Structure 1
Amino acid sequence: MELLGLLCAALLCATVAQGKPTLKKERVHHEPELSRQAHEDNKSYQYDHEAFLGKEEAKTFDQLTPEESKDRLGKIVDRIDSNTDGFITTAELKTWIKRVQKRYVYENVAKVWTDYDLNKDNKISWDEYKQATYGYYLEFEDATDQFSFKKMLPRDERRFKTADLDGDLAADREEFTGFLHPEEFEHMRDIVVLETLEDIDKNGDGHVDEDEYIADMFAHEDGGPEPDWVKTEREQFSDFRDLNKDGKMDQDEIRHWIMPQDYDHAQAEARHLVYESDQDKDQMLTKDEILENWNMFVGSQATNYGEDLTRNHDEL
């Protein structure tokens, strides 16, 4: 099963990471955005593409010629212009970006649905999920201690029951989407916060202190110095994470950290795209303005990281 493979890979990575310094781990639940990043050169969007997509994903753009890209981008612009007035507003861009984000989530669920709906009744019961994901470990008890199986099974069951709104222990597609992508659903936010706390709280006191916060991002070498970014994160913990200044984060403070309510990624990305492409500064974009700046849009979330430009128009 795909999820089981990811599970094993994640556990292996976690084990390996204990022996050497690690890169900073990002727990905040937002897509990487452009507008928080400094631009080295406003005439070149390679920095934007790599910061927003990652280097490998940014290469998707190279699959099409500029002419093909502009043609397909123009068709997407027509879809974004919901009131067909010839202008793309920040609100319309925001709506489109949110739609693209949501589509990714539901497409991800669709890809794995048949792996878990074993009896093909268009629902996934807890027993089906448990068998598909943990069947091997349930059958061979001697293998369970090699992984965190005994910890993860009840944790998954708790999350599954939280997503199961009607309490029938069988998830429809919407409930299963909440199970796999809990950060996307308001009623699942508490479980995301709780799981984050459990991941980081190594001493089991129900809080995250500064050392636990840092250890989640950075594994020390014996006697090795801390990088400058770690020192900055310590300051972040003191100044912005520990809101009541008691030296540790409770669940409310963890929620404020990983799910900031005062930042809307889609809004920020939409504003960024308008700001960079609005030649006449009327706070709206025409199709011509977007196509003039096509190199930015094909690498932005407005086109699902460029992926929409490689799809047939009928798929959009």
Structure 2
Amino acid sequence: MANYWRMAWCRHLLAVSMALFCLLRNTMDVHARPANMSSLKDKNNPTSKEVNEILPPDHLNGMKLEMDGHINKDFHQEVFLGKEMEEFEEDSEPRRNRNKLIDIFSKVDFNKDKSVSAKEMQRWIVEKTEEHFQEAVRENKMSFHAVDPDGDGHVTWDEYRVKFLASKGFNKKEMADKIKNSEELKVDEETQEVLESLKDRWFQADNPPADQLLNEEEFLSFLHPEHSKGMLKYMVKEIVRDLDQDSDKKLTLSEFISLPMGTVENQQAQDIDDDWVRERKKEFEEVIDGNHDGIVTMEELQEYMDPMNEYNALNEAKQMIAVADENQNHNLELEEILKYSEYFTGSKLMDYARNVHEEF
């Protein structure tokens, strides 16, 4: 039965993704990408806040891939800005953003030689990634409290099920009684599919000896697999399973860049497709496929996904520097980082970079 629901859930995810992607092809600009499952969480509906609080997020800050295998578009900004990401909003006053970026540069420049090396950037990336980790820990405390109202320090799968179903609009007492008496829940197919997927994830997060209870640390792994080697491995297996077309538990380039079936109706939609393929091809060939044999194994993908891998942080530092290193000295100067501010912060600073020498 579990296998049946797993297959049904995969078909459901694929159908939703394909529908959303076809819609995006016809309506969004060239910077768009196929939508991930985060869109299924209704962030504007107040009644959905409780659902979002206890469901594992699709987007994980500081992770290169989303839970559904999409490339994290904001990764560079997340590992450069850390918890300060929200301060760089598109409509923020440019001079304020410029001053903030100058301040960040001075912190990254650990030896104060007015130049950022790959090692300094690596150190900074690790520090900012840790900030995202700590933020997840803080959020998890609130989420765990929401599912552990009696405060006994652990949550059963049945307790979580009741909380989840109640947050979806089902009668809490009725669901609790049915679960207690092992009665059929009679929920809609979509809710049942989500429950089966969550159950699989729940038992993966249950550290041995398995007792079907999650403490706060295990619940953190349930919501944020990047906090656990075992759950990170599980996340990688899920991504490979969804992309692996020949079931060999490996990914080829064609599998990694494959697009949902659909008709391209205009040039704008074709541009979206081309950007999607180009971006994923570059990431596959230059970063993920470590030995460049044209195949990505689960081990390679797990190493690529590990946010606390310092070797990955160094490679990321070198890539980030290469983007803005106009004088080709393998370091970053302040004027370079200001000129390429959109890459590092998501915010354009217009012509403020040219004034940098007036202050330094």
Partner of residue 181, structure 1 = 224
Could you tell me how far apart the structure 2 residues matched to 1:218 and 1:86 are? 44
Partner of residue 139, structure 2 = 111
Once the two structures are TM-superposed, the CA of residue 145 in structure 1 deviates from its matched residue by 2.4
Structure 1 residues 206 and 153: CA distance shift in structure 2, 3 A: farther
Structure 1 residues 102 and 166: CA distance shift in structure 2, 3 A: farther
Q: Which of 241, 257, 261 pairs up with 1:220?
A: 261
- Letter of the structure 2 residue corresponding to residue 104 of structure 1: H
Partner of residue 172, structure 1 = 216
1:253 pairs with 2:294: no
Could you tell me how far apart the structure 2 residues matched to 1:280 and 1:201 are? 42
Structure 1 residues 13 and 179: CA distance shift in structure 2, 3 A: closer
C-alpha RMSD of matched pairs (Å)? 5.4
Partner of residue 145, structure 1 = 189
CA contact (8 A) 1:24 1:217 kept: no
State the TM-score, normalized to the length of structure 1: 0.55
Could you tell me how far apart the structure 1 residues matched to 2:236 and 2:314 are? 24
Partner of residue 294, structure 1 = 338
Structure 1 residues 280 and 194: CA distance shift in structure 2, 3 A: closer
Q: Which of 113, 118, 125 pairs up with 1:90?
A: 118
Partner of residue 154, structure 1 = 199
Structure 1 residues 75 and 166: CA distance shift in structure 2, 3 A: farther
Aligned pair count?
A: 256
Structure 1 residues 264 and 153: CA distance shift in structure 2, 3 A: same
- Letter of the structure 2 residue corresponding to residue 193 of structure 1: V
Could you tell me how far apart the structure 2 residues matched to 1:122 and 1:94 are? 41
SS in 1 for 2:149: coil
CA contact (8 A) 1:93 1:270 kept: yes
Partner of residue 193, structure 1 = 236
CA contact (8 A) 2:101 2:338 kept: yes
CA contact (8 A) 1:88 1:284 kept: yes
Identity between Structure 1 and Structure 2 (%): 15
Could you tell me how far apart the structure 2 residues matched to 1:221 and 1:101 are? 37
CA contact (8 A) 2:243 2:255 kept: yes
Could you tell me how far apart the structure 2 residues matched to 1:13 and 1:195 are? 12
Q: Which consecutive residues of structure 1, in runs of 5 or more, have no partner in the other structure?
A: 1-9, 33-48, 307-316
State the TM-score, normalized to the length of structure 2: 0.50
Could you tell me how far apart the structure 2 residues matched to 1:257 and 1:25 are? 21
Q: Which of 132, 138, 141 pairs up with 2:163?
A: 132
Structure 1 residues 201 and 267: CA distance shift in structure 2, 3 A: closer
Could you tell me how far apart the structure 2 residues matched to 1:16 and 1:279 are? 43
Could you tell me how far apart the structure 2 residues matched to 1:199 and 1:208 are? 11
1:15 pairs with 2:30: no
Once the two structures are TM-superposed, the CA of residue 155 in structure 1 deviates from its matched residue by 0.8
Could you tell me how far apart the structure 2 residues matched to 1:270 and 1:121 are? 43
Structure 1 residues 73 and 207: CA distance shift in structure 2, 3 A: closer
Q: Which of 314, 317, 328 pairs up with 1:267?
A: 314
Deviations 1:101-141 (A, max 9, x none): 33234424533542332337495534454443345579282
Structure 1 residues 218 and 96: CA distance shift in structure 2, 3 A: same
SS in 1 for 2:90: helix
SS in 1 for 2:64: coil
Could you tell me how far apart the structure 1 residues matched to 2:199 and 2:15 are? 21
